[in-house]
């Protein structure tokens, strides 16, 4: 146990000391984290002795995503968000369904050993974009505000929207739709997942912010504990929604949006301290998740990738994502490079990991190839999006400021 703790703590110490220098290069944090996990894992140096199962990976991925969604939403510029409201609406209501349909269509053309419902499950697993992997773009001030906030909202909501869709297709693939029928089941799951998630996120956050305001007026807050309230609120929204059968991701993101609108009732400096502390916790959870992913998943999976899995993974990150985005943004006034930029920066990560574990645990006969395809896509996304995020974001932001696009 202590050997594992020493390895992880030493890595965190070194990375946190040089993070600023690394972030100014083309190398992203998740690339470093995953490579370190691969290095210390059983396929390389075999230095750690941790017993890692898929439930641990799922739990870490869920908690990390909840933290990132809440803090990103709470820190969003509400004025810019209102101005950019049409962008995420197009991406979610037009682009997301088209992405699932196009992913399904390519699977029908390329694969002949999966059932149609299993194909629909895989297309849905790879549809949501990842807020944690997309953080390099969303937090890069070189990127125009409307695009940053649009991508932030898209990645914040598409995870929760895809959950009921995935569960419907999974139930149909397993033959569990029962007497309700697929459409009744779909409506029920959408209402439960999104409705409960929204209600929990808004109600819990509203009362929490009221509590923060009372605490400030009565001088109850101390510097010792000020780092925890926002992180605790994010996890409360997530866990309460999940326990009630709703989407914890929707709850975390909607709660973050409301916290940003209402403010925390604190001074600007204290409010920023709130957010910085929770962002630090989210970044730490992300680091641990990607290290474990690299150690327990990447090394064992790489040898099992077929050419078909590699081909579909590449298509998923390019044509299957970018064409629906391009179509959904037609007539939006966004320039061609902007559409390509938005289409490309739809990384796959934590949500797809969670979905893969859900599908594997369901006992679906085709879950092995589906999970391998998801893992392959995530690995390629970590590399491709990690390498291109900072250079393209900076170059595009500079050209747009100069009026060259």
Interval 38-48: pLDDT, tens: 998 888 888 77
Q: Where are the domains of the chain?
A: 37-401
Q: Which tokens sit at 266?
A: 């604190």
Q: pLDDT class for 184, splitting at 50, 70, 90? A: confident
pLDDT (0 to 100) of residue 312: 97
For 182-238, the DSSP string reads HHHHHHHHHIIIIIIHHHHHHHHHHHHHHHHHHHHHTT---TTTTTSHHHHHHHHHH
Residues 341-386 have pLDDT tens digits of 999 999 998 889 989 988 988 888 888 899 999 999 999 999 999 8
In contact, 33 and 294? CB cutoff 8 Å: yes
> From CA 180, how far away is CA 186, in angstroms rounded?
10
- pTM reported for the whole predicted model: 0.85
In contact, 127 and 316? CB cutoff 8 Å: no
Residue bearing the bigger pLDDT, 2 or 95: 95
- C-alpha radius of gyration, the chain, whole number: 21
Least confident window among 148-157, 320-329, 347-356: 148-157
Q: pLDDT class for 390, splitting at 50, 70, 90? A: confident
Identify which of 383, 388, 377, 394 has the alpha carbon closest to the alpha carbon of residue 30. 383
> From CA 352, how far away is CA 354, in angstroms rounded?
5
* Angle between the N-to-C axes of helices 2-23 and 29-40, in degrees from 0 to 180, rounded to the nearest 10: 150
CA dihedral 61, 67, 70, 76 (to 10 degrees): -100
In contact, 224 and 210? CB cutoff 8 Å: no
Question: How crowded is residue 403: how many other Cβ atoms within 10 Å of its Cβ?
Answer: 6
Question: How crowded is residue 337: how many other Cβ atoms within 10 Å of its Cβ?
Answer: 15
Considering the domain 37-401, what is its CATH architecture? Up-down Bundle (1.20)
Residues 52-110 have pLDDT tens digits of 777 888 888 889 888 888 887 887 666 666 666 688 889 999 999 999 999 999 999 99
Residues 243-269 have pLDDT tens digits of 999 989 889 989 998 988 887 555 556
């Amino acid at each position: 146990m202590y050997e594992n703790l020493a390895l992880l703590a030493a890595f965190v110490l070194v990375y946190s000391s040089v993070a600023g220098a690394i972030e100014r290069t083309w190398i992203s944090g998740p690339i470093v984290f995953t490579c370190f996990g691969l290095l210390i894992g059983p396929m390389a140096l075999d230095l750690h002795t941790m017993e890692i199962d898929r439930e641990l990976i799922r739990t870490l991925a869920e908690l990390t995503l909840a933290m990132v969604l809440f803090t990103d939403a709470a820190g969003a510029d509400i004025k810019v968000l209102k101005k950019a409201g049409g962008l995420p609406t197009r991406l979610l209501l037009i682009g997301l369904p088209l992405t699932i349909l196009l992913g399904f269509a390519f699977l029908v053309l390329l694969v002949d050993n999966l059932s149609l419902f299993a194909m629909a499950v895989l297309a849905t697993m790879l549809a949501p974009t990842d807020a944690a992997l997309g953080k390099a773009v969303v937090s890069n001030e070189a990127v125009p505000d409307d695009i940053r906030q649009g991508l932030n909202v898209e990645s914040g909501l598409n995870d929760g929207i895809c959950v009921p869709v995935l569960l419907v297709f999974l139930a149909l693939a397993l033959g569990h739709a029962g007497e309700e029928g697929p459409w009744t089941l779909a409506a029920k799951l959408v209402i439960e997942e999104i409705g409960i998630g929204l209600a929990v996120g808004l109600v819990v956050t509203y009362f929490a912010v009221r509590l923060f305001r009372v605490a400030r007026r009565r001088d109850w807050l101390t510097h010792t504990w000020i780092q925890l309230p926002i992180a605790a609120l994010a996890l409360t929204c997530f866990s309460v929604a999940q326990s009630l059968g709703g989407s914890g991701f929707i709850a975390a993101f909607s709660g973050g949006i409301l916290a940003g609108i209402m403010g925390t009732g604190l001074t600007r400096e204290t409010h920023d301290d709130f957010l910085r502390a929770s962002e630090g916790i989210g970044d730490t959870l992300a680091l641990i998740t990607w290290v474990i992913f690299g150690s327990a998943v990447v090394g064992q999976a790489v040898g099992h990738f077929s050419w078909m899995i590699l081909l579909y993974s590449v298509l998923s990150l390019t044509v299957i994502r970018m064409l629906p985005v391009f179509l959904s943004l037609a007539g939006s006034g966004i320039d061609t490079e902007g559409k390509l930029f938005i289409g490309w920066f739809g990384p796959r990560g934590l949500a797809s990991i969670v979905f893969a574990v859900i599908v594997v645990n369901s006992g679906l006969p085709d879950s092995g190839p589906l999970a391998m395809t998801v893992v392959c896509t995530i690995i390629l996304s970590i590399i491709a999006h990690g390498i291109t995020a900072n250079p393209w974001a900076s170059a595009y932001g500079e050209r747009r400021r100069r009026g060259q696009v």
